[in-house]
């Protein structure tokens, strides 16, 4: 759990630099893009108890990651 929080913080930290310096966005635009992640986590968290236990232990991450992949557009 602690590792997950550390990774989330690290991603936010690096993405802020990537959005501001790499893509040339203003700090307000970068902040709004980064604010979508906690909002999405807050919307999906109440349903996480339904997604996780319903799958087999070997494929536990697969059903849980489908909404995140679909929202990011990487799964189609």
Q: Which residues span the domain enclosing 21?
A: 11-45
Residue 61 structure tokens: 């991450």
Structural domain count of the chain: 1
Residue 32 has pLDDT above 60, yes or no: yes
Residue 47 has, within 13 A of its CA and on its CB side, a CA count of 12
Residue 76 has pLDDT above 50, yes or no: no
- Comparison of pLDDT for 53 and 15, the residue scoring more: 15
Q: Is residue 76 part of a domain?
A: no
Q: Is residue 30 part of a domain?
A: yes
Helix H or strand E encompassing 38: helix 27-44
Task: Give the global pTM.
Answer: 0.50
Residue 45 structure tokens: 């968290």
Q: Is residue 16 part of a domain?
A: yes
Q: Is residue 31 part of a domain?
A: yes
């Amino acid at each position: 759990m602690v590792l997950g929080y550390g990774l989330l913080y690290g991603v936010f930290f690096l993405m802020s630099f990537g959005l501001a310096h790499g893509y040339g966005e203003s700090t307000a635009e970068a902040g709004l893009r980064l604010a979508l992640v906690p909002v999405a986590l807050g919307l999906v968290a109440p349903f996480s108890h339904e997604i996780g236990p319903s799958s087999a232990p070997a494929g536990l991450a697969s059903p849980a990651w489908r909404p995140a992949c679909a929202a990011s557009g990487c799964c189609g």
